[in-house]
Amino acid sequence: MFSTGTTCRAWFRAMCAAGLAISAAPVWAQAPVDATLYRLFLRDGSTIVSYGEFARVSDRVVVPLPLGGTPAAPDLQLVSLPADAVDWDKTDAYAESARAARYAATRGPEEYALLNEAVSRALGDIALTPDPARKIAMAGEARQNVTRWAAEHYAYRAQDVARLASLFDDVVAETRAASGEKNFELSLVANLAAPPAMPMLPPPTLQETIEQGLRAATLAPDATERMSLLRGIDRVLAGAGAGAAWAAPLRMRAAASLAVETRTEEAYAKLSRDALANADRLARTADVTGVERVMRTLLREDDRLGQRRPQEMASVLAALDAHLDAARRLRLARDAWEAHAVVARRYQQSVAEPLALMRRSRAALDEIRRLAGPSRVTLARLAERLETAERLAAALTAPAEEAEAHASLGNATRLARRAVEARQRAVASGSMQTAWEASSAAAGAVMLLDRALQDLRTAVSSPVPARPHTR
């Protein structure tokens, strides 16, 4: 079948033997580990170990930093670092190399053996195919699958995979030669991506881990994370590393940094408490200028402290902004109230007489509501009093701000007269239905009178501070 004169079965045995010889080649020497150790290469030239994958979120990168413990069960400290402090070209290249090394130490040998088996099966199927065109198509497809496998498996054993791919080049070449094709290309080298070339760094020592933790503490923008990290470093140095010569200076550095952070935390806590208390007091008096002064003082003190708590400051400034908004609203409400307070008091003086008549009538209206009286004589006097109150109220012109209260008062006088008239008819006829109609009218009159009195009290009452609210 082939120009070499080799029989199909003998050629297939030769190809299988070549594949098995390749599979027996030595693999990357690396013992399996429990987790992949990644490295973040910082722009200042230092590195930070990440126990497992790190996560890049917006402008931060979250790193599980090992601190003490054992290699199998380290004590991890989550810390977020600014993404712009990282050299991402080196970091990504190292991460790719770390994943490739991890793959080579775990699933690589087994999956490479499966690839060998697949290549052997493909060669066998091709050898048993009589159609030369079909042979060439099958070999081309199998070669693409082999090269794709290398690209998807971190170029694991790239040279050996290239040899496997070249077996299908040989099949294509021999098949074309046997079929009499004069012009054909012979491609004996597989074009495969090179494996990640960045060398792996050894696992960090305890000293290196502590030094990296201190470096991370200087970069972490979140104060809570910094203090937690420094306390974790202090615990580790007080334990496993306490007797080492290098531990003492590192512990002094950690203690000094923690002391600075603690003093800063206390200073910002006092600054926030004082600012919020003063702003609350000033907002209750509608002192807009005073609240603005508190905000300026807060910003000056933040500058003096080195702007070391941006998140806390943002929260306090948001609360102060709510107090400022409340002060402005209260200022506007009081200015508006003062503008019509004189008119409101003048109106209340003019409406004092009908209001007094309605108040005197309230007890009798309540008796009508409860179907408990009053007497016929009292009803007659009540009718005269309510007629006078209605006439006086109708003669008044209320300002726009008191229109609702004046309308309630007018409706109350009309309902009260209707209640008296219905009660008088009920007394004359002895009809309970008419008595209940009088009761309903009396209840409505009392309700409207109460509403009018409440509106009038509100009109002459200074606005009270509202609860600050954030926008």
| One domain for residues 139 and 216 | no
- Answer whether residue 80 is part of any domain: no
- Answer whether residue 247 is part of any domain: yes
Query: What is the tens place of the pLDDT at every residue in 429-440?
Result: 999 999 999 999
Residues of the chain with pLDDT under 70: 1-34, 181-195, 240-243, 459-471
Whether the bond between 374 and the residue before it is cis, its omega within 30 degrees of 0, is yes
| One domain for residues 253 and 145 | no
As a whole number of angstroms, the distance between CA 147 and CA 14 comes to: 22
Answer for the pair 323, 292: CB distance below 8 angstroms, yes or no: no
* Alpha helix ranges (H) inside 39-157: 88-105, 108-127, 132-152
Q: What is the pLDDT of residue 405?
A: 85
State the residue range of the domain holding 262.
210-317
- pTM as predicted: 0.59
| One domain for residues 173 and 282 | no
- Answer whether residue 333 is part of any domain: no
| One domain for residues 174 and 214 | no
Q: What is the pLDDT of residue 32?
A: 38
- Answer whether residue 338 is part of any domain: no
- Answer whether residue 136 is part of any domain: yes
| One domain for residues 216 and 277 | yes
Query: What is the tens place of the pLDDT at every residue in 45-102?
Result: 999 999 999 999 889 999 999 987 777 788 899 999 999 999 999 999 999 999 999 9
- Answer whether residue 191 is part of any domain: no
- Answer whether residue 152 is part of any domain: yes
The structural domain count of the chain equals 3
Answer for the pair 176, 185: CB distance below 8 angstroms, yes or no: no
| One domain for residues 403 and 267 | no
| Average pLDDT score, the chain | 84
| One domain for residues 363 and 404 | yes
| One domain for residues 373 and 426 | yes
Place of tokens 């209340």: 348
**Which domain-ending residue is among 163, 178, 193?**
178
| One domain for residues 161 and 284 | no
**Which domain-ending residue is among 259, 291, 317?**
317
| One domain for residues 391 and 451 | yes
Q: What is the pLDDT of residue 217?
A: 92
| One domain for residues 20 and 163 | yes
As a whole number of angstroms, the distance between CA 349 and CA 346 comes to: 5
